[in-house]
């Protein structure tokens, strides 16, 4: 009986280790993919804007700062999950929708603030190209993901 219990414990520990190792591998793979995408985005935008080395040194910290603030706002603005929507009252849903608009306004305010900061580093034409390049990169990325799925 003790041998059987010992075997169960060993199998359970081995299985737990395998699951943990696979989870760690999946997380590492995901981080690697995201890092590759981020590097490709940096190269794509740098080329499209024809950034000089001096501009790039001043531009990218600013860009990353704004991006981090926008990501934070987006995380906080996600008020509903599909499955929880049915359990909320109309008043709670209305409040969530209003909060979402507040966060979108904050994001717009950030864009206005950073436009001035960007224009101290890059030209107005480069700023317009930045917005276009971000959309083009997203479109290109989605196309590649579609192609990879097929």
Q: Give me the tens of pLDDT residue by residue for the chain, a chain 150 residues long.
A: 555 554 555 455 555 554 555 556 667 888 999 999 999 999 999 999 999 999 999 999 999 999 999 999 888 777 666 557 778 888 988 888 888 889 999 999 999 999 999 999 999 999 999 999 999 999 999 999 888 887
The pLDDT, as a whole number, for residue 6 is 47
pLDDT of residue 71: 92
Total-model pTM: 0.71
Q: How many whole angstroms separate alpha carbon 8 and alpha carbon 11?
A: 5
Using CA atoms, how far apart are residues 60 and 149, in angstroms rounded to an integer?
Answer: 32
| d(C-alpha 62, C-alpha 87), whole Å | 41
In terms of residues, how long is the chain? 150
Distance CA 14, CA 89 (A): 46
């Amino acid at each position: 009986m003790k041998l059987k219990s010992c075997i169960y414990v060993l199998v359970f520990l081995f299985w737990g280790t395998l699951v943990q190792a696979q989870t760690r591998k999946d997380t590492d793979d995901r981080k690697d993919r995201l890092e590759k995408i981020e590097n490709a985005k940096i190269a794509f935008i740098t080329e499209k804007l024809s950034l000089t080395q001096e501009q790039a040194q001043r531009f990218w910290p600013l860009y990353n700062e704004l991006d981090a603030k926008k990501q934070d706002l987006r995380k906080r603005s996600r008020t509903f999950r599909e499955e929880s929507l049915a359990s909320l009252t109309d008043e709670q849903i209305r409040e969530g929708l209003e909060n979402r608009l507040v966060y979108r306004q904050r994001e717009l305010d950030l864009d206005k603030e950073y436009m001035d900061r960007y224009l101290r580093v890059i030209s107005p034409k480069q700023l317009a190209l930045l917005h276009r390049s971000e959309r083009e990169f997203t479109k290109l990325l989605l196309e590649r993901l579609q192609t990879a799925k097929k």
